Amino acid sequence: TVNNMKILYSSSAPSRKPAAKSISRHIPSAPSRILDAPDLLDDYYLNLVSWSDSNILAVALSQTVYLWNASTGNIDELCTFDSTAD
């Protein structure tokens, strides 16, 4: 009965369709904009830049978090933290 089941499953399996053609896209080699980010900490474990689905980039520079709207180019200061001595 094992062979009968194997034949049943292999004969009733749907045929595979060929993989869809991959779509290529052009990735420019030169940047369209350059973010000047003085005081951006170089720390592997910190996430100091975040890009939202509404096309807003949040950047933490020193003690301040800024929001940059990529659609309009507007920059807003979100908040500033007091520096504390450790």
How much is the pLDDT for 27?
Answer: 83
Residues in the chain: 86
How much is the pLDDT for 4?
Answer: 53
Q: Count how many Cα atoms sit within 13 Å of the Cα of residue 18 in the half-sphere of its side chain.
A: 2
Tell me: the pLDDT tens digits for 5-52?
Answer: 555 555 555 556 666 677 888 888 998 878 788 888 888 888 888 889
In the three-class reduction of DSSP (H, G, I as helix; E, B as strand; rest coil), residue 22 is classed as: coil
How much is the pLDDT for 66?
Answer: 93
End-to-end CA distance of the chain: give it in Å, rounded: 74
Question: pTM (2 decimals)?
Answer: 0.56
Rounded to an integer, what distance in angstroms lies between the CA atom of residue 58 and that of residue 67?
A: 5
How much is the pLDDT for 17?
Answer: 63
- Residues 78/58, Cβ–Cβ less than 8 Å: yes
